[in-house]
Chains A and B, each alone.
Chain A
């Protein structure tokens, strides 16, 4: 608790500084990552982030110390080389995109590990921190390094805001952009540079192995919540900032704990929450709407059966009779009877069920839809009368009043269905 207060009260100016840095980094990488996610190029970010490792090592070897300019320069160089190689291979070979990305990722990363091991063998005392570039350590970042990463992040955010409409065009319909005379190739190059930079800003705080997660996951998680690009970018940035700060905090309270894995853990938690609970697209929401639809179908089946009994000149049905019609759904049927009783659509007296006025009207509607659909299938789709029932069993719960009107119109307000049964109307007698 003490640590928590110490960290989040920001009384330590270096912590405040790091949190500001992480915030900028989060916004930058989430922005760029969201676009590459929308462009279905999520894997490219992973390839680039692994591919910057040899550049980092080369920068270190050239400078002989952890100089941020050399390291960032090296990372940008090898990231650019990887991006260029992957698009060159795509244009000049018949290899598929995923094999190209797999090759680039493993070759560059493998080479990077070789260099890293070589540097460690030299026994250079400066090399201690170099391991951080694999999994990241936000707390260990020096202030001078932070300036470099922070201003790069700012550069990314500004460029992206300035070119928002161009990048949307690139992702949605690049061909059209070319047709109206926009330099789409140049815009693609700028986007690729931003992509490389957004990996580079995270190498020290998050690490090269997990940086791809910070690029892609925020956008993917935010996509569950919204269909608007503006909201999507803001939400993605928010997710990235939250997980960045969580990762930093854990690195702060547990010494030697890398930041990257914790950023990924908290990001994945946010993604999981989005996947489960987001309205409309979330699993829970879809489950609930399916359940309520099923409930509706059970209720409608009860009403329909009672109406059919009335057609056979019975005034109603015994509960047992009704249950035996739906032997698989006994509990659901009982529940439906209860709810329908509560809403006053039917009356239960000593185990005998009768429809009330409102229930009868609703029951008529369902039977009418069922029979209208059967007639439509028979007349317009040439399906034999003994093959139309199953489809109508499903469609009777779905057809909207507008569709019903359209069906009635097409079929010229028919009186009988293909089985010569009456299509009931509200103005009928019974």
Chain B
């Protein structure tokens, strides 16, 4: 069940991505509607994070292309905001919460310019939205997992984008944070922002998202929640990896070069 949409905000065409020449995403082809809260679901190692990294151009695709707002990524980068996984950075870095949120303003500032009063005000506003303004001058190493995640989301808000791509924002956070983040995402989507979230828990996904993408190395489904969520599709997504696909992957890995590279 892959439902394509008219005037998509994001269009992915036959995207194939491989790491060290073993393919982790096969021919993903989908389009997403504007202003929706969208979840990417799939088991561990299904290529969920890889998909949004490929959208952001952080990993190179070995085939296919991505169009955002019907344009190339480089033309619309400042309208997209990316939230990496919390564990991907060293939280011992000597910086305050405000310093990290200010990074969200760097894109508009450009190189060399330092953030000024206007940017600081914006950063404080974004911290307020995630309920962390009281922690603005706190050293980041002193934060709990949930607080770290809120800081990352505040940083993404500071980009004032139209499309948000979030990698596991609910992973390892406390219940209060999860609810607070979800409410914030809902408000944003009401304001017309499109939010794509990598998520691991099927149960909460059912109540959180309007549109669901199911991945398991290939695209299993993409469409409105009511139409996508069926036992058969869930089994296809979570019922183990496709045996044949894994064998092909092994075959490719054993080559001394990458046969998929153009």
Contacts and interface: CB of A to CB of B under 8 A. Distances in A.
B94 A228 contact: yes
Interface stretch (B11-19, B77-85, B127-135, B250-258): B77-85
A176 B94 contact: no
Contact of B94 (A40, A166, A180, A227): A227
Nearest to A38: B93
A169 B115 CA distance: 13
A176 B84 contact: yes
B106 A182 contact: yes
B112 A163 contact: yes
B58 A175 contact: yes
Given A173-B88, A173-B89, A228-B96, A181 B141 contact: no
A299 B253 CA distance: 64
A182 B96 CA distance: 22
Contacts of A229: 94-95, 99
A172 B139 contact: no
A227 B139 contact: yes
Contacts of B84: 173, 175-176, 179
A178 interface: yes
A166 B90 CA distance: 16
A171 interface: yes
B93 A169 contact: no
A165 B114 contact: yes
B78 A176 contact: no
Contacts, number: 72
Interface string B94-114: 111001100100110001101
Contacts of B94: 38, 223, 226-229, 232
B58 A166 contact: no
B74 interface: yes
B58 A179 contact: yes
Contacts of A5: none
A128 interface: no
Interface in A150-190: 162-166, 168-169, 171-173, 175-182
23 contacts: A38-B94, A40-B90, A165-B114, A165-B115, A169-B103, A169-B106, A172-B89, A172-B95, A172-B100, A172-B103, A173-B84, A173-B89, A175-B88, A179-B57, A179-B84, A180-B82, A180-B103, A181-B74, A181-B77, A226-B94, A227-B94, A229-B94, A229-B95
> Which 5 pairs show the lowest CB-CB distances between chains A and B?
A180-B107, A179-B82, A181-B77, A227-B139, A172-B93
Interface of A: 38, 40, 162-166, 168-169, 171-173, 175-182, 223, 226-229, 232
Given A177-B106, A182-B107, A182-B111, 10 more contacts: A168-B99, A172-B90, A172-B103, A173-B89, A175-B88, A176-B103, A179-B56, A180-B78, A180-B82, A228-B94
